[in-house]
Amino acid sequence: MTLDDLHRLLRTNASTVTEEYTRLFHGRGNTYSGYRFLTVDSVDKVLFAVLFDTNDEEEAMMSMLRDFYASEGKWKALAVQQRYLPSSPTTVIEGELPLETYAIENGLKYHVNFQSAQNIGFFPDMKIGRDFIRIHAKEKKVLNLFSYTCSFSVVAIEAGAHSVVNVDMNKNVLTIGRENHRLNGLDTKKAAFMPYNILKSWSRIRKAGPYDLIIIDPPSFQKGSFAATSDYEKIIRRLHEFAAQECIVLSALNAPELESEFIKALFRENAPDFQYIERLQNRESFPEIEEERSLKNLIFRKSL
């Protein structure tokens, strides 16, 4: 693929852009030769590109992105994040960031911040998981582990969940999560926000149960707090303590080096009452040449 090819693809994909979060280009899956280092998103009124590595064509690509941004006239700013640099800085190279920018999905809004951290506050590839929760959350007691900014909770409560318990050791992201509920006019009395280390807070988590629907969506690795290879099984081993007699689990993993069999084996060995149901199919806008390296959303069910 050449830069001209990339420019044409971006223009084609831009024709479908609405206010909803749209991935215009996903190079991370290695389906576009030479561009694994690049993603480009339409986020509300911002065109947002992320560079995951240095590249000899970076200057020419920046010029192409500027041309694309100007020719489309759909956005108020072009922001580029250099993920490969310390602190992952984001630079606005055209226009000006709006005072408020939202990730919009299925009509729901989520606060995003392009200049505060490596992640902007929303993961668009997880839409398929949120869609699953929307379908199954009505009148359910939901446990949302590693809740981050609580997008699962927003979807669940909007879909009629009885209650949601959000657990994340980062108080700041839980504060944003609470604001995401308010932003969408949702009753925060139905949501609890627990700023705890999950692996050290089983009694607190168990107290609000049992849960009908459990979401496990951890980072693959977070220094000093969680490593999927050693800690994921600690959660699955405890499921029987806070799962209702009939319970659905969405078990997510975004570690390219770990295949879906890793999670299936953990359930067989540590939670045999939970039957594997399916793996949710990832979005077409996030193509991956090796499916097992992509996001894994596995569904398990415990029944009477």
List pLDDT tens digits, range 271-300.
Answer: 999 999 999 999 999 999 989 999 999 999
Provide Rg for the chain, Cα atoms: 20
Q: What is the pLDDT of residue 57?
A: 84
Query: Residue 197 falls within a domain, yes or no?
Result: yes
b (16+ CB within 10 A) / e for 17-41: eeebbbbbbbbbbeebeebbbbbbb
Asked whether residue 81 is assigned to any structural domain, the reply reads yes
Task: State how far the Cα of 264 lies from the Cα of 92, in Å rounded to an integer.
Answer: 43
> Do 285 and 201 have their domain in common?
yes
User: Phi and psi of 92, rounded to 5°?
Assistant: -85, 110
CATH at residue 163: 3.40.50.150
Q: Are residues 100 and 156 in the same domain?
A: no
Task: Tell me the Ramachandran region of residue 146: left when phi exceeds 0, alpha when psi lies from -120 to 50, beta otherwise.
Answer: left
Burial 239-267 (b: 16+ CB within 10 A, else e): beebbeeebbbbbbbbbbebbbebbbebb
pLDDT at 172 over 80: yes
Mean pLDDT value across the chain: 94
How many Å apart are CA 16 and CA 4, to the nearest integer? 20
> Do the beta carbons of residue 101 and residue 114 sit within 8 Å?
yes
As for how many domains the chain has, the answer is 2
| 147 shares a domain with 79 | no
Residue pointed to by tokens 């024709």: 15
User: What residues make up the domain containing 7?
Assistant: 3-111
Peptide bond just before 210 cis, omega within 30 deg? yes
Is there a single domain that holds both residue 85 and residue 147? Answer: no
Query: Are residues 143 and 107 both part of a single domain?
Result: no
Q: Residue 118 domain-assigned?
A: no
Q: What digits encode the pLDDT tens for the residues 105-155?
A: 999 999 999 987 789 999 999 999 999 999 999 999 999 999 999 999 999
pTM of the full predicted structure? Answer: 0.94
Task: Assess if residue 117 is contained within a domain.
Answer: no
Of the residues 80, 111, 142, the one at which a domain ends:
111
